[in-house]
Copies of this chain bind each other. A is one copy, B any other.
Amino acid sequence: MIPLGGVGEVGKNMTVVEYGNDLILLDCGGKFPEEEQRGIDLIIPDVTYVKDRLRQFRAILLTHGHEDHIGALPYIVPQLKDRAPIPIYGTPLALGFVERKLLEAHLDKYVELRPVQSGETVQFGELSAEFVHVTHSIPDACAIAVHSPVGTIVDTGDFKFDPTPVMGGPTDEPRLRRLGERGVLALFSDTVRVETAGSTPSEKVVQDTIDEVVAKAQGQVVIATFASNISRIHMALHAAQKNRRKVAVAGRSLEQSARVALELGYLDPPDGLLVDLDEVLRLPKERRIIVSTGSQGEASAALARIAAAEHPKIRVGHGDVIIVSASPVPGNEETVSHTIDNLFRRGCQVVYGALHSGVHVSGHAGRDELERMIQLLKPAYTVPIHGEYRHMALYRELSVKNGIRADHVLLPEIGGVLEFSADGATQRGRVPSGNILVDRLGDRGDPQVVLRDSTNLTEQGVVVVTLVVNRESGALIAGPDLTAKGLKSEHAIGALREAEQDLKRMLDRRKKGEPQYGYVVQRTKETVGRALYRRLRTRPMILPVVTEI
């Protein structure tokens, strides 16, 4: 077993499981870069190890449909396409999201999507994989038990033991217990919430909170959440029905998720309850619920535009209620606060985590639930994955407390080989692995994608674009300045000058009051990247550096 991502970090989950001539991939996740990694759109795992073993490679298995488990597929599939059609297994919702992604990137021809229901087992040579239903913050999530001649390993995926999930049934404890009784060699466990004592509250808490807030609301209700959060749309529909409102969805990514969920029957609202945005906006305010993107304060998403009174259609003010149904991802705290401040400035009532804990709950198991998983499966070994280093270290303590021998808790590293045999487990060497940076121009199916790893990062050159802007007015104080390294063309100087002109025009066209920082970073990158490609046919790494003072 080799993790190629998702250990010592949150995001880009991917694990290789290999026995003899059979190799499968569990999950294929991407990670959104931190704020200071300005030029980068997504970080994905290095799959060199798999590319070198295409003959043994059998399939990709997905635990659930979140970006950190499926988001790398559009970039990994082309790398494995000599093995096409690549079989991808997962529950229908996860595969629905995957299909949309791959269609958009024109990669659907390289894969064969094979939906499974939890409880099903699929054979891959000497390995077989069983999908076991777990609860998470997306419906139809699974743990995957991989049976091999040396024993069974269980990858929990992301899970919690939610006794009253809002969509689907509770975690399949009977099946987990039976696996434990038959003998589990190793448990690869989600650990991200090991810091938190007790159990994570049920999704039911969020439903109740939303019902309560909607029942009291006088004006419009806007519920902001993650793009893939089907269950919040479900909750909005529930609250709307009880309160004679209708629901619309705002934000392209959320609309797409909703469409997938409707097509597959995960959402099945009565006729006329889920309508399009224009229709909801023709209703009186007290009959509207809008589910929107932007719960992380992203500058270009619906909520930030609503808060800045810059949304093309949605206006909010006194009497309206905004529910921010998400926790800020580490690094996003300030942009979220800023968005909330703006909503208060508009006169809205804002219901958010710091004020009302019921407005969002985690999808991950608290410490008691992590213990329960160990007790159900009684593994010989535990391997903490899906967490930062501190989570892994704390999970080790928890394992020992639950009877696992200290030397049977294995702290993996990315690319580190964990070998299980009749004699026990050993950590044996490291395969090629690491971060691949995805750089793409435009966000709508533009095929111009460049993958960069540490060896070719700056092969096509680096262009640093520096802007200093006034934080309040957005006025340019200095720049734009383009500094290039390694542009190997006689036309480089002219191309840079053109790019600078394009950029100046773009910056002049900005509307006053436009959401600033993230928007400017993204648009700068696009504008300069396009100009240089047009002239030089090369894709240097563009690092937009926007300093607000």
A interface residues (Cβ-Cβ under 8 A, vs B): 34-40, 195-196, 330-331, 333-334, 337, 340-341, 344-345, 350, 354-355, 388-390, 393-394, 437, 454, 457-458, 462, 464, 466, 468, 470, 477-479, 481, 483, 485-486, 517, 543, 545, 547-549
Contact = CB atoms under 8 A, between A and B. Distances in A.
Given A38-B547, A196-B354, A337-B388, 17 more contacts: A34-B334, A36-B547, A37-B548, A37-B549, A333-B333, A341-B390, A344-B389, A344-B390, A344-B394, A345-B393, A454-B470, A462-B478, A464-B478, A464-B547, A479-B485, A483-B483, A545-B545
A458 B547 CA distance: 14
Contacts of A468: 458, 462, 464, 543
Contact of A333 (B38, B39, B330): B330
A354 B327 CA distance: 15
A39 B466 CA distance: 14
Contacts of A38: 547
B481 A340 contact: no
Given A390-B350, A470-B454, A483-B483, A36 B337 contact: no
17 contacts: A37-B547, A37-B549, A38-B547, A195-B354, A195-B355, A330-B333, A331-B333, A341-B390, A355-B394, A462-B468, A464-B468, A464-B479, A464-B481, A464-B545, A466-B483, A481-B483, A483-B483
A399 to B, nearest CB: 15
Nearest to A465: B466
A470 B457 CA distance: 10
Contacts of A543: 466, 468, 547
Query: Which are the 5 A-B pairs with shortest beta-carbon distances?
Result: A344-B393, A341-B389, A195-B354, A545-B545, A462-B478
Contacts of A195: 354-355
A351 to B, nearest CB: 11
A393 B196 CA distance: 31
Contacts of A35: 36
Nearest to A473: B454
Contacts of A39: 547, 549
A196 B26 CA distance: 41
Q: Which of A34, A196, A543 has most chain B Cβ within 10 Å?
A: A543
A334 B330 CA distance: 7
Given A38-B547, A549-B37, A331 B334 contact: yes
Given A39-B547, A466-B464, A483-B466, A340 B477 contact: no
A549 B34 contact: no
Contacts of A478: 458, 462, 464, 485-486
Nearest to A43: B549
Nearest to A340: B390
Contacts of A334: 34, 330-331
A340 B40 CA distance: 26
Given A196-B354, A333-B331, A341-B388, A477 B464 contact: no
A367 to B, nearest CB: 10
Contact of A457 (B40, B345, B390, B549): B549
A393 B38 CA distance: 33
Q: Which of A354, A388, A477, A478 has most chain B Cβ within 10 Å?
A: A478
A389 B333 CA distance: 15
Contact of A390 (B331, B337, B388, B458): B337
A394 B323 CA distance: 15
Contacts of A437: 549
A548 B36 contact: yes
A37 B548 CA distance: 6
Contacts of A393: 344-345
Contacts of A337: 330, 388, 390
Nearest to A461: B478
Contacts of A34: 334
Q: Which of A334, A337, A462, A549 has most chain B Cβ within 10 Å?
A: A549
Nearest to A347: B393
A276 B355 CA distance: 44
Contacts of A481: 464, 483, 485
Nearest to A548: B36
Contacts of A345: 389, 393
Nearest to A397: B349
Contacts of A454: 470
Contacts of A331: 333-334
A396 to B, nearest CB: 10
A364 to B, nearest CB: 13
A39 B545 CA distance: 13
A344 B395 CA distance: 12
